[in-house]
Amino acid sequence: MITATASIPESAQERMVAPSRFGDVIFRWLTLVMAFSVLVLVILVGWQLWRNSSLAIHKFGFHFLNTSKWDPVAEEFGALPFIYGTLISSLIALVIAVPLSIATAVFLTELAPMWIRQPLVSLIEMLAAIPSVILGLWGVFVMVPFLRLAVFPWLKKTLGFLPLFTGPIYGVSMLAGGIIVAIMILPIITSVSREILRSVPDLQREAAYGLGATRWEVTRIAVLSYAKNGLFGAVVLGLGRALGETMAVTMVIGNTPQIVASLFAPGYTLASVIANEFTEATTDVYLSALFEVGLVLFGVTIAVNLIAQLLVKTFVNTSAGAVQ
């Protein structure tokens, strides 16, 4: 290299090297700026939400989060019913989706014959590709009538002694919202759990098989207990998605700001109140309150996703280290 540059005349060397170095610097900075645009986006979102909700933050302070009166006419806004609705519908979704997803992930990594695994994974990816609004459409015209006519009356008859399953049945309800969210988060929990289970080192399984364990015992002792932190991460990731689901939930949850025990009663979530009322917000305070609802939703999903990513990444890294 040194001899080569030394033998080339000064002017020619400049011609060869200088323009390309210039291009390199430009290109490097260009890609750097583009890569850091994601950081800019995070700041942009936080700043926009904060700036636009400052009016409501100043006016209502902390009471925004713990009062339940939502009255646009009197300009009194408390987001508690939406926080409650978001939490309860996500909780229902997790109760339904977590066992199903993890069992499916176990089936896909430990039990299913090889030839069926890839097609099943593709089908689950297809489920993930269904747009939210279309699942909502199906929810409104197929699922909700079915729940109203068949499932809810049966639940009321058999489990009616619980306060959860009392009261009039409308069809659109907290429970319907929870079920549709469950369907939406099934694919993500399944696919992340599958990644987690696949990163469990085979040595674990072989050791358990070597002790004479059956297939289920291997799965339980060697795989599931080894992977429990990672699986927890997958569940939290699902929770993050559940909290922010908008369109499908808005279409089936009934959109009534109230806090009642019955799951048959309509509810409202943070995301769906924004979707429904944003374009109707006529006053500055109203709009600002909706921005604050968005800020709350953003803060919660960021926190939940942060925890989930840390759990999942730490697990995958440590088990990759264990193999080495």
Partner 1 sequence: MRESFYRWRKIKSGLVSALCLLCAVLVIAPLGLVFFHLLREGASAVNWSFFTNLPKPVGEIGGGMANAIVGTFELLGIAALIGVPTGVLGGVYLAEYGSVRVNWLLRFICDILNGVPSIIWGIVVYGLIVVPVKSFSALAGGVALGFIMIPLIVRMSEEVLLLVPNGYREAALALGIARWKMTLHIVLKTALKGLVTGVLLALARVAGETAPLLFTAFGNRFWNHNLHDPIAALPLQIFAYAISPYDDWHRQAWAGALVLVSMTFLVNVAVRFLTRSRSAALAK
The residue range among 65-73, 226-234, 241-249, 259-267 that interacts with partner 1, by the rule CB under 8 A, is: 241-249
Residue 240 as a binder of partner 1 (CB under 8 A): the answer is yes
List the one residue from 5, 14, 15, 28 that touches partner 1 (CB under 8 A).
28
Question: CB of 12: closest distance to partner 1 in angstroms?
Answer: 13
Residue 134 as a binder of partner 1 (CB under 8 A): the answer is yes
Question: CB of 67: closest distance to partner 1 in angstroms?
Answer: 22
Question: CB of 160: closest distance to partner 1 in angstroms?
Answer: 25
Residues between 50 and 69 that touch partner 1 (CB under 8 A): 51-52
Question: CB of 317: closest distance to partner 1 in angstroms?
Answer: 10
List the one residue from 144, 155, 186, 234 that touches partner 1 (CB under 8 A).
186
Residue 38 as a binder of partner 1 (CB under 8 A): the answer is yes
DSSP collapsed to 3 states, the chain: CHHHHHHCCHHHHHHHHHHHHHHHHHHHHHHHHHHHHHHHHHHHHHHHHHHHHHHHHHHHCCHHHHCCCEECCCCEECCHHHHHHHHHHHHHHHHHHHHHHHHHHHHHHHHCCHHHHHHHHHHHHHHHHCCHHHHHHHHHHHHHHHHHHHHHHHHHHHHCCCHHHCCCCCCCCHHHHHHHHHHHHHHHHHHHHHHHHHCCCHHHHHHHHHCCCCHHHHHHHHHHCCCHHHHHHHHHHHHHHHHHCCHHHHHHCECCCCCCCCCCCCECCHHHHHHHHHHHCCCHHHHHHHHHHHHHHHHHHHHHHHHHHHHHHHHHHHHHHHHC
Residue 135 as a binder of partner 1 (CB under 8 A): the answer is yes
Question: CB of 193: closest distance to partner 1 in angstroms?
Answer: 11
List the one residue from 5, 8, 32, 95 that touches partner 1 (CB under 8 A).
32
Residues between 80 and 109 that touch partner 1 (CB under 8 A): 99-101, 103-104, 106-108
Nearer to partner 1, 240 or 267 (CB): 240
Nearer to partner 1, 34 or 73 (CB): 34
Question: CB of 156: closest distance to partner 1 in angstroms?
Answer: 23
List the one residue from 251, 253, 263, 265 that touches partner 1 (CB under 8 A).
251
